[in-house]
Amino acid sequence: MRIGSLLLTLLAGTFVFAAMPALAADYSLELKKENTKVQFTLTDPLHTVHGSFGLRSGNISFNTDTGKASGQVVVDVASGNSGSDARDSRMHANVLESKKYPDATFVPDRLDGQVAVQGNSTVKVHGTFTIHGAPHELTMDVQTAGSGDQLHATMTFDLPYVAWGMKDPSNFILKVGKVVQMSIDTTGTLQKR
């Protein structure tokens, strides 16, 4: 009877342990080019310029309990397009120097807040953003909406390009804003690791 009782206790304990939530939930989100929009907005006193960049690749891994994050998002700087060939030519040659610095990368290291794998959440993602050959500490505001194995995320941040060492395109006639508003809108497949 003792062996049967011990076996029953072990079996019951196994079911209870299996029903408990995992101590840490690690997830990975792959960003696909076809499901990702990288957009920018730059203002000057007369008008607002909107444009876009292409995504080269992206994968973000995170732990919902600890907030630890890793991975890399790579934006194709050379693909930048504002709809004006003359403006884009100046942007690439004089400001971004995209032939010399064709990529911008973001490497996340932590999440502030908790991502709801199912439902909506608001978090901040902290990491290192490298553009124009120099790394900069950066925090993005992120809105997420999870459903099934899909996660939609909108990441927004300000890029103070002049303060970060890029040329100010302003002249005595035209004054251009010193900060570009950036947004990355993506839907990807969320995988538990």
pLDDT tens readout for residues 42-56: 987 778 999 999 999
- Structural domain count of the chain: 1
**Type of residue at 170:** S
Beta bridge partners of 155: 142, 184
pLDDT of residue 2: 58
Q: How far is CA 48 from CA 42, 52, 83, 180, in A?
A: 6, 14, 12, 11
CA–CA gap between residue 53 and residue 59 (Å, rounded): 17
For the domain that residue 116 is a member of, what is the CATH number?
A: 2.40.128.110
Within a domain: 151: yes
Within a domain: 16: no
pLDDT of residue 24: 55
**CB-based contacts of 136, cutoff 8 Å, min separation 6:** 128, 129, 130, 164
Kindly state the percentage of the chain with pLDDT values over 70.
Answer: 88
C-alpha angle with apex 65: 62 to 68, nearest 5 degrees?
A: 40
pLDDT at residue 18 tops 80: no
pLDDT of residue 37: 97
Within a domain: 2: no
What mean pLDDT comes out for the span 28-45?
92
**Type of residue at 51:** G
pLDDT of residue 111: 95
Of 31, 22, 25, 10, which Cα lies nearest the Cα of 187?
A: 31
When comparing pLDDT for 126 and 1, which is higher? 126
Within a domain: 116: yes
From first CA to last CA, the distance across the chain in angstroms is 42
Within a domain: 6: no
When comparing pLDDT for 162 and 16, which is higher? 162
Beta bridge partners of 184: 38, 155
CA–CA gap between residue 161 and residue 103 (Å, rounded): 15
Within a domain: 11: no
- Enter the tokens of residue 171: 């002249």
75-115 confidence digits (pLDDT tens): 999 999 999 999 899 999 999 999 999 999 999 999 999 99
For residue 171, give its domain range: 23-192
Within a domain: 142: yes
132-178 confidence digits (pLDDT tens): 999 999 999 999 999 999 999 999 999 999 999 999 988 877 788 89
